[in-house]
Chain A
Amino acid sequence: MKILVAVKRVVDYAVKVRVKPDRTGVETANVKMSMNPFCEIAVEEALRLREAGAAAEVVAATIGPAQSADTLRTALAMGADRAVHVLHDPDPARPLLPLVVAKILRAVALQEKPGLVILGKQAIDDDCNQTGQMLAGLLQWPQGTFASKVLLDKEKQKATVEREVDGGIETICLKLPAVITTDLRLNQPRYATLPNIMKAKSKVIKKVTPEDLNVDIRSDMEVTEVNEQPKRKAGVILSSVDELLDKLKNEARVL
């Protein structure tokens, strides 16, 4: 069985994000980019499943410009077998939204025919938390999102997924092929050790375009402006409930 892992190149989690002076987006020039942390967890889970004998091959995929190949190389250095790079140059006014990403990943999945697609639950740049769910819907596959534990039964072709939900932990059983999205506590990703970094140099990265996959990437949404949040103002200590009611009614206008 093959596992397809989708990974995204995002601004590194440790970087203090700033809005560009022209307010068209956030500053990405000369800013450290890395693999989305939830995607790292996805790659790690796929590798563990392969090491446990539940899968034979782990294929990493990403959508992005030429530099996104770095993210694929990280996945390969962690241990993925090969990679698919869907080339797309980003336009800050029309960023790729989850629906288009899901359509592209669907096309890749239909080509690769994996038994499992694993994605991070969300990317730390847009925090959408939609791609995995949309992908499952487009493929008409079952989904196990916010996974904190994954158990694969190869013979029965089923995946048991423990999900972190608001009420606690929900355990569901999915028939393969299925889509899983990873949550924080699923695993701790491994380091890319030097021998694996060396081995990764000879692994294959297949380059395709959205046109090759027959996916229309035109977006209905246009980003008009990106602004920083207004600076948080100091609090005010009130002297009475009447004053509170007055402020809620006349300043905050919530009553």
Chain B
Amino acid sequence: MQRWIPAILRRAAPAASGYGGAARLFASSSLLFDETQEQFKESVHKFAQEAIAPHAGAIDASNHFPKGVNLWRLMGDFNLHGLTAPEEYGGMGLGYMYHCIAMEEISRASGSVGLSYGAHSNLCINQLVRHGNPEQKQKYLPKLISGEHVGALAMSEPNSGSDVVSMKCKAEKVDGGYVINGNKMWCTNGPSAQTLVVYAKTDLAAGSKGITAFIIEKGMPGFSTAQKLDKLGMRGSDTCELVFENCFVPHENVLGEEGKGVYVMMSGLDLERLVLAAGPIGLMQACLDAVLPYVRQREQFGRPIGEFQFIQGKMADMYTSLQSSRSFVYSVARDCDNGKVDRKDCAGVILFAAERATQVALQAIQCLGGNGYINEYPTGRLLRDAKLFEIGAGTSEIRRMIIGRELFKED
């Protein structure tokens, strides 16, 4: 596919939008990535900066994806959706290292697009890859991977957030399938998704053992979406409530086994946390992309403010937060690729990276001073976007509980 902007016409200018020249800052001498992964990161970075970043401000201001360009399709053409999906369905058959790299660079360009991308490619596509039967994979994956269809996942309900196992959405067994009644809340991509992975209780009395995972299609009678939620950040990453009113779902659409949904959900959450943890990494990088050119150019008291120690202290804190989070995320990604999925590490990476990202974004606003408070600059949006990662995919509190519980159990 052709690039949008000839490389030479972009100039390294510290502008209000901040992305131009600072786009490629450090020649990484780290051993985090092998050659191929470096090439991929470089390539996705170029693509994200040219195809996604120019829309980031407008996506946030208007609270929807750009109308004139189909970002889902563009990302699909760039082979980004099915990174972990088998090649026979159009995927790349690769692992979480690549998925995290893509998530980082897309989030660096736009947090909202990154979050929607993560929900589509990991929460929906990867769950189908891991638990779908051949017929389901063949039916749903190709269009999701090409970007023609958008994917989503719904487990939380208005009254079941952290206590997700207390969900009340009911799936009553009937002839040929199930009838689903209930509501789901905070569903990313809900408004636009054609394919949704939805968890419901086939046995309300059985607690966690009564949960079943279903594949829902947009247009199924009885399934509708309520209006888009008006969020603090990640604006444009459309989120809504799902409404099920006697929605019939055929038997073939059970994902995994009846009553075994909690396993699908919890094991999916581990990998979801890992991949989404690359989101705050991208946001922290975007903060540095905005701050460094600014502090080199902005002068007060006759000197660039980047020469003052307080600012240098902030830059150092931002940098070390980013680098340490990045090392943590990618080393856990490598472990997962090698088959060692550790629940407390997966929770740990997003717990750590998300909290760091909020602080880094706050520091970014502070470095820009009064300008950091103006919405023409990206720092405000970066803070609002970063905060989401302390909440979605299990709140920081839940993550701490999971890690502590795992450590307590271990011998």
Contact = CB atoms under 8 A, between A and B. Distances in A.
Contacts of B2: 188, 190
A215 B1 CA distance: 39
Interface stretch (A25-33, A155-163, A203-211, A240-248): A25-33
A16 interface: yes
B24 A14 contact: yes
Interface in B1-38: 1-10, 12, 20-27, 29, 35-36
Contacts, number: 79
Interface stretch (B39-47, B55-63, B106-114): B39-47
B32 to A, nearest CB: 16
For chain B, the bracket of interface size reads 20 to 34
A34 to B, nearest CB: 8
Contacts of A191: 1, 3, 43, 46-47, 78
A193 B36 contact: no
Contacts of A195: 79, 92
A149 to B, nearest CB: 15
A13 B40 CA distance: 19
A189 B78 contact: no
A191 B36 CA distance: 15
A197 B47 CA distance: 14
Nearest to A40: B7
B3 A188 contact: yes
A148 interface: no
A197 B24 contact: no
B33 to A, nearest CB: 12
B40 A14 contact: no
Contacts of B23: 14
B24 A32 contact: yes
A32 B12 contact: no
A97 interface: no
Centre residue among B10, B27, B39, B79 by max chain A CB count within 10 A: B39
B6 A184 contact: yes
A193 B27 contact: no
A51 to B, nearest CB: 12
B29 A30 contact: yes
Given A14-B23, A191-B1, A191-B78, A37 B8 contact: yes
A33 B27 CA distance: 8
A103 interface: no
Given A191-B1, A191-B46, A194-B92, A73 B8 contact: no
Interface in A175-200: 184, 188-195, 197-198
A32 B7 contact: no
A250 to B, nearest CB: 32
Given A14-B23, A191-B1, A197 B78 contact: no
A93 to B, nearest CB: 23
A208 to B, nearest CB: 22
Given A190-B2, A193-B43, A30 B7 contact: no
B3 A189 contact: yes
Interface in A41-83: 41, 70, 73-74, 77
Interface of B: 1-10, 12, 20-27, 29, 35-36, 39-40, 42-43, 46-47, 78-79, 83, 92, 94, 98
Given A14-B21, A77-B39, A191-B78, 20 more contacts: A12-B24, A13-B12, A14-B20, A16-B12, A16-B21, A32-B25, A33-B27, A37-B7, A41-B6, A184-B8, A189-B3, A189-B6, A190-B1, A192-B43, A193-B79, A194-B78, A194-B83, A194-B98, A197-B40, A198-B36
25 contacts: A14-B23, A15-B12, A15-B24, A30-B26, A30-B27, A31-B27, A32-B25, A32-B27, A37-B7, A40-B7, A70-B35, A188-B4, A188-B5, A188-B6, A189-B7, A190-B3, A192-B43, A193-B1, A193-B78, A193-B79, A194-B40, A194-B43, A194-B79, A194-B98, A195-B79
